[in-house]
Amino acid sequence: MRAFLVAGRALRSFLGDLTFLIGMSLLWFATGGIVVIAAVLFGWPLAMIGGPWWLAPLLVIPIGPATAALAVVARRCAADLRVNRTFYFDGLRTYWRPALGLSAIGMAALALLLMNITFYASRPSGFVQGLTLIWGYVLVFWLSVQVYAYPILVRMEKPAALGALRTAMLGALANPLFSIVLLLIAAIFTVLGMLTVVFFFLSCPALLALLGEHAVRLFLARAGVKEEDRTAS
């Protein structure tokens, strides 16, 4: 299946630049990714007491610029181009504004979806509880959109959050099974990272960025689009 092909390519790219990408993962945490830990520390206790744990994604909004910068690095690694940390910082400067907008929309929508799922799942009526499945499908779709959004953003001549989201949504709608399996693979990487904390900090961010990058590359190749990397040098 194509999703496993993408996962294999992501792993190969990661292993090809292992030391460098470990450093990029740590840099991602240092320049914004650390808010993921804050969100977990905020949301987990609230979930245990039945509080509004679904607000936790809002704490992750500052992650956008760092994720876009990592997408720039992943794009070059996937294309076997020369890359160093300068490209990461250039990505931060170039894409911080649209990336922040992208993460704000993405995390706000995620919080609303989690709130709806929590609300409908807690209703006494079986019919109303059944609506939880519909919101669950929407949640899966929205999460798959996030996998594609940042690789698309860093390809745009005029980067825009709404434009990147629109294209990512079309990609997810056009490839539903692929997107679901790819999201499952991303979830496995994430769970493995959480179970082995070292893997989470050293590998997970770069590996997930490469997963999205290779997925978008596959879409473009199947559409017959030949990329000319504007950052190639």
Q: Is residue 229 part of a domain?
A: no
Please state the domain count of the chain.
Answer: 1
**Is there a domain that residue 93 lies in?**
yes
Q: Tokens at residue 8, please?
A: 């294999």
Distance CA 162, CA 210 (A): 22
Q: How many CB atoms lie within 10 A of CB 96?
A: 16
Q: Is 232 within a domain?
A: no
How many CA atoms lie less than 13 Å away from 26 in the CB half-sphere? 9
pLDDT above 80 for 231? no
Residue 233 lies in a domain: no
Q: 228 lies in a domain?
A: no
Does residue 230 lie within any of the structural domains? no
pLDDT digits (tens, 9 = 90+) for 134-173: 999 999 999 999 999 999 999 999 999 999 999 999 999 9
Contact assessment for residue 201 and residue 26, using Cβ atoms and an 8 Å cutoff: yes
pTM value is 0.92
Close Cβ partners of 203 (under 8 Å, ≥ 6 residues apart): 14, 21, 22, 25, 193
Over residues 100-110, the mean pLDDT reads 97
Residue numbers of the domain that contains 199: 2-222
Structure confidence at residue 96 as a pLDDT band (50, 70, 90): very high
Query: Dihedral sign, CA of 212, 160, 100, 116?
Result: negative
Taking CB atoms within 8 Å and a gap of at least 24, the contacts of 197-202 are: 201/25, 201/26, 201/29, 202/22, 202/25, 202/26
The answer to whether residue 50 sits within a structural domain is: yes
